[in-house]
């Protein structure tokens, strides 16, 4: 099971013959499927699929696969993405002052758990610049105030273009990204420190403590203009008790946050996530 693979991530209106047509395209061109998973959402009348096959032995050069597949996909009114496993995505991490999610992502990238390059770290505070330096990653400190937000976002967009960033990960970036920004760069993953939809917004651990919950959580989701309302990619929880003060919730939550964010980012980078109707399919 060596060599590069192609991954097709597709959605289209449900109809007969979808699996056959897609599989035939790959088979007819000499491809060997190594992962195929499909899902039909009957209430949305939508078929969603992820197929991965070996490029070794595949008859089509990789630069024409997309065009060739259009002959199958267009008549189905499908939307699709095509990715190659050896073309690593470029990921930017945005942070504020907390370092646990940042460090965790950087370790995992070094440990080859995340198939991505991380050329850019951006923060509205200077504090984490030393970590960026230590990992040899460019760091930009772009303060954001109400008055400078539009300007700051323009600068951020320019950086994303310049560094050819594919996906932004908000790893405890404690600023709201504007709808205008999202319209121009929609691939943003955020980690929220609560079990959404419980405790959206600020200070979720304090509110969890006050509410007296017995379990806390964290949620990774795509960012949309509605704060903390985007499609959920991954969630996890931890048990707490009356012994746990707010500080303990924060401490336990940090572990949740980095695990949940890492799993979401990895699924995204492996092209396992399809978002639609404010929800996600995560192919396992």
Residues that are catalytic: 228
Q: How far apart are CA 205 and CA 218, in angstroms?
A: 10
Of the candidates 117, 178, 198, 225, which one interacts with a copy of itself according to CB under 8 A?
Answer: 198
Contact (CB, 8 A) for 101 and 73? no
Nearest distance in Å: CB 258, a copy of itself: 9
Q: What is the DSSP string of 137-189?
A: -EEEE----TTTHHHHHHHHHHHHHHTT-SEEEESS--SPPPHHHHHH---EE
* Helix, strand and coil percent figures for the chain, each rounded to 5: 35, 30, 35
Of the candidates 153, 228, 234, 257, which one interacts with a copy of itself according to CB under 8 A?
Answer: 234
User: Does 212 interact with a copy of itself (rule: CB under 8 A)?
Assistant: yes
| DSSP reduced 3-state for 40 | strand
The region of 120-128, 147-155, 174-182, 210-218 touching a copy of itself under the rule CB under 8 A is 210-218
In a 13 Å sphere around the CA of 138, the CA atoms on its Cβ side amount to 12
User: Does 46 interact with a copy of itself (rule: CB under 8 A)?
Assistant: no
Nearest distance in Å: CB 101, a copy of itself: 12
Contact (CB, 8 A) for 8 and 58? no
The region of 18-26, 72-80, 81-89, 155-163 touching a copy of itself under the rule CB under 8 A is 18-26
Of the candidates 74, 97, 206, 279, which one interacts with a copy of itself according to CB under 8 A?
Answer: 279
Closest CA to 269 of 184, 166, 182: 166
Nearest distance in Å: CB 61, a copy of itself: 19
Q: Is the dihedral of CA 161, 167, 169, 170 positive or negative?
A: positive
Nearest distance in Å: CB 73, a copy of itself: 16
CA 113 to chain centre: 14
| DSSP reduced 3-state for 202 | coil
Q: How far apart are CA 101 and CA 169, in angstroms?
A: 10
User: Does 135 interact with a copy of itself (rule: CB under 8 A)?
Assistant: no
Tell me the two tokens of residue 267. 């699924």
Nearer to a copy of itself, 77 or 278 (CB): 278
Of the candidates 9, 10, 18, 92, which one interacts with a copy of itself according to CB under 8 A?
Answer: 18
Nearest distance in Å: CB 63, a copy of itself: 22
Nearest distance in Å: CB 270, a copy of itself: 12
Site string for a copy of itself, 152-191 (x = CB under 8 A): ----------------------------------------
Residues shown for the chain: 284
User: Does 131 interact with a copy of itself (rule: CB under 8 A)?
Assistant: no
User: Does 228 interact with a copy of itself (rule: CB under 8 A)?
Assistant: no
- Interacting residues with a copy of itself (CB under 8 A): 1, 16-21, 23-24, 26-28, 30-43, 100, 103, 107, 111, 113, 134, 195-199, 211-215, 217, 231-237, 239, 241-243, 245, 251, 254-255, 259, 278-282, 284
């Amino acid at each position: 099971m060596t060599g590069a693979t192609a991954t097709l991530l597709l959605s289209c209106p449900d109809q007969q013959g979808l699996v056959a047509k897609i599989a035939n395209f790959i088979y007819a061109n000499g491809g060997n499927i190594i992962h195929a998973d499909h899902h039909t959402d009957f209430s949305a009348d939508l078929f969603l699929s992820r197929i991965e096959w070996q490029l070794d032995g595949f008859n089509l050069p990789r630069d024409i696969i997309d065009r060739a597949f259009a002959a199958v996909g267009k008549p189905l009114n499908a939307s699709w993405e095509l990715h190659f496993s050896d073309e690593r995505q470029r990921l930017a991490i945005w942070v504020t002052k907390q370092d646990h999610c940042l460090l965790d992502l950087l370790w995992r990238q070094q440990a080859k758990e995340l198939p991505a390059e991380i050329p850019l770290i951006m923060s509205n505070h200077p504090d984490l610049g030393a970590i960026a330096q230590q990992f040899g990653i460019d760091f930009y400190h772009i303060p954001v105030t109400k008055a400078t937000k539009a300007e700051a976002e323009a600068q951020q967009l320019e950086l994303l273009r310049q560094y050819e960033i594919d996906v932004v990960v908000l790893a405890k970036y404690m600023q709201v990204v504007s709808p205008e920004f999202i319209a121009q760069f929609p691939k943003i993953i955020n980690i929220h420190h609560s079990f959404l939809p419980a405790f959206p917004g600020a200070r979720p651990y304090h509110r969890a403590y006050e509410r007296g919950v017995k379990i806390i959580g964290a949620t990774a989701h795509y960012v949309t203009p509605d704060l903390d309302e985007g499609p959920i990619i991954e969630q996890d929880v931890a048990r707490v008790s009356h012994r746990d003060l707010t500080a303990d919730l924060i401490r336990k939550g940090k572990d949740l946050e980095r695990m949940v964010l890492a799993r979401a980012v990895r699924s995204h980078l492996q092209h396992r996530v399809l978002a639609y109707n404010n929800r996600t399919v995560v192919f396992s």
